[in-house]
């Protein structure tokens, strides 16, 4: 089944509560998928810096002195915050690519969850309640975020198989459904030079969008072409640095409910996930149409363009 939640804030006064609201929404969706949980938060940005959120199964060993080791190898300022099995490392934007390579040499067991100026992704195997508590998600502030609670179908129950997936800077995606052509698409995308880490179908979906955008498509265009190129069932919720998007396949059998008020746009696999949001009784609540891309941005007016049949 899987459960998805998403929250895009329009009202800045809600930003301190983003983590708390998303955590509550995600815990409500636990019985849609108790295998693993993950949350992506778009928080504050340090000018000229990029954040790498990394994970280790042996954090005590891997994170000890990692900031100093990276600083020595890169030759510039590196800061690091450790949170349970994850750490958020900030480096100068110019060193983002180099940091990945150096990190792979310095700590081969450390895996990168996300790269972005504002994005941080936390994910682990286990119940949403426990995962959120380990990373103290409820205390996090931010402008928007998405979360996922997984019922594993297409690949193993591992940290790397948990959603959200980040395949381009500040981009992430969560998925309810299963893709049937992910194996062939993965081969094609790898040939095109896209880095895909796992055997998970959703990562292929995320990588597909990254590939399209590398070719010059906007996120909206990439989502529209996914309707032609991805086979299977999907409800996707995506985040970008300043935006939040939703798309469902033409069959649209995976559930989705959206709500919009002057203060926020919210997404849930079920209405239950939305019931504690402020003003939900007066929100516009609707079910997104199949084959239709919905997108909101902090920079532009809301858009929803229907895909021609």
Partner 1 sequence: MQTFDLEAQGLRNLNAALQSQTKDTNQTAWEIVNAKGSHAIAVGLDAPIEVTVKGSTGYYCGGMNKQATIRVKGSAGPGVAENMMSGTVIIDGDASQYAGATANGGTLVIKGNASSRCGISMKGVDIIVHGNVGHMSAFMGQSGNMVVCGDAGDALGDSIYEARLFVRGTVKSLGADCIEKEMRPEHIEILTDLLERGESDAKPEEFKRYGSARKLYNFDIDNAY
Beta carbon of residue 271, minimum distance to partner 1 (angstroms, whole number):
4
Beta carbon of residue 163, minimum distance to partner 1 (angstroms, whole number):
22
Using CA atoms, how far apart are residues 306 and 124, in angstroms rounded to an integer?
A: 35
Beta carbon of residue 287, minimum distance to partner 1 (angstroms, whole number):
5
CA 67 to chain centre: 25
Using CA atoms, how far apart are residues 105 and 259, in angstroms rounded to an integer?
A: 45
Q: For residues 93 and 291, which CB has a smaller minimum distance to partner 1 in the complex?
A: 291
Helix (H), strand (E) at residue 276: none
User: 3-class SS at 230?
Assistant: coil
Strand partners, 5: 147, 268
Strand partners, 98: none
Annotated catalytic residue, options 1, 2, 19, 72: 2
Q: For residues 232 and 255, which CB has a smaller minimum distance to partner 1 in the complex?
A: 255
Q: For residues 98 and 257, which CB has a smaller minimum distance to partner 1 in the complex?
A: 257
Q: For residues 104 and 253, which CB has a smaller minimum distance to partner 1 in the complex?
A: 253
Strand partners, 231: none
Q: In terms of Cα–Cα distance, which of 53, 100, 290 is closest to 195?
A: 100
Helical spans, DSSP H, in 64-162: 66-74, 96-106, 128-134
Beta carbon of residue 128, minimum distance to partner 1 (angstroms, whole number):
17
Please indicate whether residue 253 is annotated as part of the active site.
no
The tokens 């079920």 sit on which residue? 270
Q: In terms of Cα–Cα distance, which of 133, 117, 105, 197 is closest to 159?
A: 197
Using CA atoms, how far apart are residues 10 and 13, in angstroms rounded to an integer?
A: 9
Q: For residues 11 and 31, which CB has a smaller minimum distance to partner 1 in the complex?
A: 31
Beta carbon of residue 111, minimum distance to partner 1 (angstroms, whole number):
36
Residues that bind partner 1 (CB under 8 A): 252-253, 255, 257, 270-272, 274-275, 285-287, 289-290, 309
Catalytic residues: 2
């Amino acid at each position: 089944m899987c459960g998805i939640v998403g929250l895009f804030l329009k009202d800045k006064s809600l930003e301190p509560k983003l983590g708390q609201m998303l955590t509550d929404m995600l815990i409500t969706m636990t019985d849609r998928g108790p295998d693993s949980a993950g949350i992506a938060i778009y928080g504050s940005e340090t000018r000229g810096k990029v954040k790498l959120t990394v994970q280790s199964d042996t954090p005590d060993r891997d994170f000890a002195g990692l900031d100093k080791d990276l600083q020595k190898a890169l030759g510039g300022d590196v800061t690091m915050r450790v949170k349970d099995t994850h750490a958020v490392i900030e480096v100068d934007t110019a060193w983002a690519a180099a940091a990945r390579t150096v990190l792979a040499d310095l700590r081969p067991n450390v895996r990168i969850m996300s790269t972005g100026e504002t994005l941080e992704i936390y994910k682990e195997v286990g119940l949403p309640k426990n995962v959120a508590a380990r990373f103290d998600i409820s205390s996090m502030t931010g402008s928007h975020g998405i979360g996922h609670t997984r019922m594993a179908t297409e690949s193993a129950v591992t940290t790397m198989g948990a959603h959200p997936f980040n395949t381009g800077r500040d981009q992430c995606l969560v998925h309810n459904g299963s893709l049937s052509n992910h194996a062939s698409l993965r081969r094609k995308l790898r040939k095109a030079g896209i880095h895909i880490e796992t055997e998970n179908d959703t990562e292929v979906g995320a990588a597909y969008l990254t590939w399209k955008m590398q070719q010059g498509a906007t996120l909206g265009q990439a989502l529209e072409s996914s309707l032609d190129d991805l086979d299977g069932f999907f409800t996707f919720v995506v985040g970008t640095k300043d935006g939040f998007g939703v798309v469902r396949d033409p069959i649209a059998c995976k559930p989705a409910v959206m709500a919009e008020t002057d203060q926020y746009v919210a997404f849930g696999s079920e209405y239950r996930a939305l019931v504690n949001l402020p003003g939900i009784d007066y929100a516009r609540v609707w079910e997104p149409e199949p084959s239709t891309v919905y997108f909101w941005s902090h920079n532009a007016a809301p858009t929803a363009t229907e895909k021609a049949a």
